Structure 1
Amino acid sequence: MKNWFLYSIFLVSTSIYSQEINNEIDKVTLRAMELFDVPGIAVAVVKDGKVIHSKGYGVRSIKHQEKVDIYTNFGIASNSKAFTSAALAILIDQNKLNWDDKVIEYIPEFKMYNEYVTQEFTIRDLLTHRSGLGLGAGDLMIWPDGHNFTSKDIIHNIQFLKPVSSFRTKYDYDNLLYIIAGVIIERVSGMSWASFVEKEIMDPLHMTNSAGNWNRLVDKSNVIDPHVPIDGKLQVIDRYTNTIFDAAAGIYSNVDDLSKWVLMQLNAGKNGDEIIFSKKQHAEMWTPQTLMTNQTISPYFSLFKAYGLGWQLTDVSGKLQVSHTGGLEGIVTQITLLPQENLGIIVLTNQQSGYAFSAITNTVKNYYLGLPYFDFNQDYFDKSHTNLKNADSITDAVWLKATNKSKEAIEQLDSLVGKYKDNWFGSVSIFKKNGIYIFKSDRSPQLIGELMYYDKDTFTIKWFNRYFNADAFLYLENIQSKSNRFKMKAISPLTDFSYDFQDLDFVRLNEINL
């Protein structure tokens, strides 16, 4: 009788505890949606081997107002990278390759910026952001469009990207090398990356509503639309559907299925009695490979920050955290694991404000770490407001000055008319039409906008697609060179790093064909 009494007390206290955290998640999520103008969010929390919270909030799209639920699919973007590392781990368990195999063993045509790096580059290097290339180098081949580029193009063109640091000395996040890792999976397995991930990971985990990319979703009736604010008003934008990005950011999934993925990760690669990948490879993926810049600040006082194999690693209040974020235009996501707490947190959103998922994740973390309540929503809102205000002051000043009306502007713009080529990005055209000067990419058709004169050797490009938030400076390398060469860089400090204009180096083609 005594044991039954104690057990009943345990059940009641557990129920109260669960209800308390569920109420807290509801509260912080609804507030995040309000502050950051997010139409829909899905949140799941797993603890001690069980899903203790799984819920959808808001709507899939402002167009049709259908509710988000636990089966609503979101593009998880760069959270796909952990699936790529897991796929490689499975192939290693099958004795088909090793982390430190040279890339050229599987892709003989692979070539980096110098011969030494080419010969030494390993599968591990593909996953750890230490290649020597800069942040997001070459992403314009896949972003914002990329339909005109193939993985074959990326393998060929990566040799033209210039390093910003020595090989294996510095962390700079990339996407292209994960695409190349996906090619290795395809060549070794004889299957597409998406097919392999679905067969070897999703099917055993019964992730029945997920797929390797948008096009492979069997049922598209319960999927979010991506949203971005344009001139202060939230709007639905076109979905990114290019499959070239799959191994870096292709997966569509939902909190119900991702809870199974997280539970398996917290169980060191096991799903019940089934082994998805070995404990040895699980430990390898969670081992620091590349150190990242770290700040030891409140509230978590982290002592280290590093990148593993498809995961970011740090410590929060003395506990290991394994996590990743993901972002596409109009969609951002976060998956966070605290293994010592046997805790996993999944937040999927259909708007591109990362502040919302950060506020939700950190609130849940604080609850389980026993830290004092902190209003992350308000803190991030204040920071976002300051950052946006500062960025707006920069871009507003540029557009007040940019012109195509003065005599000097017209002369300078006329001198730029022609066709130019960058070694890895391909050709662009500058021409005059209906009284304005236009910059147009041949291989990334969405990159088309109005060119205006700014000052001396500098011009501006305002993209016709206004949700990019990626307007750019175009500047002549040598003003005395008769405009034969130019480079570019983003105007706003808030421009996504995948608009890697700084890596472009355009040279005028001898024959102009407009």
Structure 2
Amino acid sequence: MPIVIKPRLLLAAVLGLGCTLAHAATPTPAESRTFDKIVDDTIARYHLPGIAVGVIENGQIVYLRTAGETVAGSGQKITPQTLFKIASNSKAMTTALLGRLVDAGKLHWDDPVTKYLPQFRMHDPWVTANMRVADLLTHSSGLPEGGGDLMLWPEPNAFTRADIIHGLAYIRPGYSFRSQYQYDNLLYVVAGEVAAAAGGASYETLMHREVFEPLGLSRCQVGAWNRDAVGNVAQPHRQDHGRNVAIDEDAALIPAITSAPAGGIRCDLDDMLSWARNWLVPTPAQLAWLSPTQRQILQAPHMLIPVSTQRRAWDNAHAMAYGYGWRMADVDGEWNVWHTGTLNGMYSMLSLLPDRRSGFVFMINGEADDARTVLGEVLTKHFTAPGDTHDVNWYADALDRAAKQHAATSSMPDTSTQRPVAPGEVATWTGIYRDPWFGNISLCPRDGKVHFAAMKSPKLAGTVMRIGKRHLVHWDDSADLDAWLDFHAAHDSQPITLRMAKLDPKGDFSSDYEDLDFQRVGGCR
């Protein structure tokens, strides 16, 4: 009896085989020395705990480099099979999944979100009715930058995807619908739920079935998995007095996380290079996996992004835009499509030059904001401006000068005189407060101080302090940005209210305290 292979399984087999074959070209000794110096200089300048780097030229992998350890001091070396959190580079995988569903006729980009999620609501009913699937992906919904991110981070927390869909209705817009670019994460979580509704399975199941398996991304992980069974997992780090210290280390059982469609996937260098080559030099089987039409839509400009002074100066850029899960700009006269990933102690970048069929990817398991900017710039210049003589240290020095100028004009207050408040000093304000999307917090006496605790986000906990006449919360976890607490007395039968704001107005947008609007709902127990 003949063996019958279903077309879907045949496609998966062909694609999987294609991704496991060697696609590496042998670099010249001069090329290897050039790339090694770039990577070595970046590691040395920024004291990175670990890094994995791959470079593609004309469709071929010409350089692979790993250095450092999965956990500083552990002796466990990073390899091309080490898993990193790719953070917002997950967004392009989410949009590829949606593109697959469009190819299959299971959804359309112009479909209203409410077709798949009838419970979906934005603050403005007109926006609710007119929000398309495509609008979830372009950061132009009206949500303020980072709006609602406190439902995603810090992790772990108890917010569900249903909580996010419910909470969106209470987040006030920061600008009018489709009028400008303001980066958000929540709507990518919603996009993952749209995919689940259209695809008839959970986002995690669909990602494995429709993306990882057919493309042979055998090490990529999403959902719940076992750290030790999978093995070789990099942990995030922060710098403490010049030392890299592991933070937020994984437990043996890694849970599924709410933020996965926006930034919760992990992959290794080998799989990220396979993912990149799928975009640069797709095989016929890969073009069957995702059609040329959908590929073009995903990486086409859909929302303009303002071009920064730095990008104009460094890259001679004139235009920048966001597609569906991808950024794009002209760099030295060449088209560049890329994205970055940022999580506490994990940084990554995937950059493509489609016309050259070239690009690169790197992942770092440490504090590396400037390191990513510098390494990305120097690797890009290798292609777009090979005669450029600016090296890692030149770009790093330029960032340092800019940081000093910023510090000189910073509105960050001096907190050196802060002191814990005694419960009696703020007795009028203590109690239980509720925000309609973030839920309950308590401001209650404990051990002679007043303690802030978020019910659904246990890492948002800290001590209420005083500077002059103002109050603030100093978080127990130093990775979070401290926040002002501004109380407003009850009047006209209205309860006491509480508003919050970042101490550093230019701090990370995911610390979106400004979107919170608490009302006192009870006393301390």
TM-score, normalised by the number of residues in structure 2: 0.88
* Partner residue, 2:516: 504
* Partner residue, 1:288: 301
1:304-343 equivalences under 5 Å are 304-343=319-358
Aligned partners of 1:264 and 1:387: how far apart in 2?
Answer: 37
Aligned partners of 1:401 and 1:23: how far apart in 2?
Answer: 51
Tell me the alpha carbon deviations over residues 9-49 of structure 1, each in whole angstroms, 9 at most, x when there is no partner. Answer: xxxxx999633232222112122122222110000111212
Aligned partners of 1:490 and 1:283: how far apart in 2?
Answer: 40
Q: Which amino acid aligns with 1:484?
A: I
Aligned partners of 1:331 and 1:68: how far apart in 2?
Answer: 14
1:402-417 equivalences under 5 Å are 402-404=418-420, 412-417=425-430
Q: Structure 1 stretch 312-321 or stretch 50-59: which is displaced more? A: 50-59
Does the 8 Å CA contact 1:404/1:410 hold for their aligned counterparts? no
Does the 8 Å CA contact 2:148/2:515 hold for their aligned counterparts? yes
* Partner residue, 1:349: 364
Does the 8 Å CA contact 1:214/1:252 hold for their aligned counterparts? no
Q: CA deviation at 1:270?
A: 4.1
Tell me the alpha carbon deviations over residues 123-147 of structure 1, each in whole angstroms, 9 at most, x when there is no partner. Answer: 0000000010101100101100253
Name the SS of the counterpart of 2:315 in structure 1. coil
Tell me the alpha carbon deviations over residues 331-385 of structure 1, each in whole angstroms, 9 at most, x when there is no partner. Answer: 0100000111211210100013122222222212212222412123443355247
Aligned partners of 2:340 and 2:485: how far apart in 1?
Answer: 31
Aligned partners of 2:177 and 2:91: how far apart in 1?
Answer: 21
Aligned partners of 2:44 and 2:443: how far apart in 1?
Answer: 42
Out of 250, 261, 271, the position equivalent to 2:264 is 250
Change in Cα spacing, 1:356 to 1:75, as seen in structure 2 (3 Å) is same
Aligned partners of 2:504 and 2:256: how far apart in 1?
Answer: 26
Tell me the alpha carbon deviations over residues 179-217 of structure 1, each in whole angstroms, 9 at most, x when there is no partner. Answer: 010011111112221221222222122111112246366
Tell me the alpha carbon deviations over residues 39-70 of structure 1, each in whole angstroms, 9 at most, x when there is no partner. Answer: 10000111212111122111111141211111
Tell me the alpha carbon deviations over residues 440-478 of structure 1, each in whole angstroms, 9 at most, x when there is no partner. Answer: 11110111111012233x31111111233x111112346
* Partner residue, 2:313: 298
Does the 8 Å CA contact 1:476/1:483 hold for their aligned counterparts? no
* Partner residue, 1:39: 49
Out of 373, 387, 404, the position equivalent to 1:358 is 373
Aligned partners of 1:194 and 1:157: how far apart in 2?
Answer: 22
Out of 279, 283, 303, the position equivalent to 2:292 is 279
Aligned partners of 1:491 and 1:392: how far apart in 2?
Answer: 16
- Corresponding position: 1:453 with 2:466: yes
Change in Cα spacing, 1:271 to 1:362, as seen in structure 2 (3 Å) is farther
Aligned partners of 1:95 and 1:285: how far apart in 2?
Answer: 16
Q: Percent identity?
A: 30
* Partner residue, 1:3: none
Aligned partners of 1:262 and 1:330: how far apart in 2?
Answer: 23
Change in Cα spacing, 1:490 to 1:154, as seen in structure 2 (3 Å) is same
Does the 8 Å CA contact 1:74/1:331 hold for their aligned counterparts? yes
Out of 138, 148, 160, the position equivalent to 1:138 is 148
Aligned partners of 1:426 and 1:349: how far apart in 2?
Answer: 34
Does the 8 Å CA contact 1:211/1:217 hold for their aligned counterparts? no
Q: CA deviation at 1:496?
A: 2.3
Aligned partners of 1:21 and 1:152: how far apart in 2?
Answer: 50
Tell me the alpha carbon deviations over residues 293-347 of structure 1, each in whole angstroms, 9 at most, x when there is no partner. Answer: 1136223111101100000011101111100001111101000001112112101
Tell me the alpha carbon deviations over residues 214-240 of structure 1, each in whole angstroms, 9 at most, x when there is no partner. Answer: 636684321111001246543111147
Does the 8 Å CA contact 1:332/1:351 hold for their aligned counterparts? yes
* Partner residue, 1:430: 443
Q: Which amino acid aligns with 1:36?
A: Y
Out of 416, 426, 429, the position equivalent to 1:400 is 416
* Partner residue, 1:383: 399
Aligned partners of 2:520 and 2:93: how far apart in 1?
Answer: 42
Out of 153, 164, 169, the position equivalent to 2:163 is 153
Q: Which amino acid aligns with 2:300?
A: T
* Partner residue, 1:260: 274
- Across the aligned residues of Structure 1 and Structure 2, the Cα RMSD in angstroms comes to 2.6
Aligned partners of 1:97 and 1:326: how far apart in 2?
Answer: 27
Change in Cα spacing, 1:144 to 1:381, as seen in structure 2 (3 Å) is farther
* Partner residue, 1:488: 500
Q: Structure 1 stretch 212-221 or stretch 177-186: which is displaced more? A: 212-221
Does the 8 Å CA contact 2:317/2:329 hold for their aligned counterparts? yes
Q: CA deviation at 1:419?
A: 0.9
Aligned residues: 494
Name the SS of the counterpart of 2:258 in structure 1. helix
TM-score, normalised by the number of residues in structure 1: 0.90
Query: Unaligned 5+ residue runs, structure 1?
Result: 1-13
Change in Cα spacing, 1:180 to 1:196, as seen in structure 2 (3 Å) is same
Query: Unaligned 5+ residue runs, structure 2?
Result: 1-23
Aligned partners of 1:291 and 1:393: how far apart in 2?
Answer: 29
Out of 164, 172, 175, the position equivalent to 2:174 is 164
Q: CA deviation at 1:386?
A: 5.9
Does the 8 Å CA contact 1:412/1:453 hold for their aligned counterparts? no
Q: CA deviation at 1:166?
A: 0.4
Aligned partners of 1:427 and 1:307: how far apart in 2?
Answer: 35
Name the SS of the counterpart of 1:186 in structure 2. helix
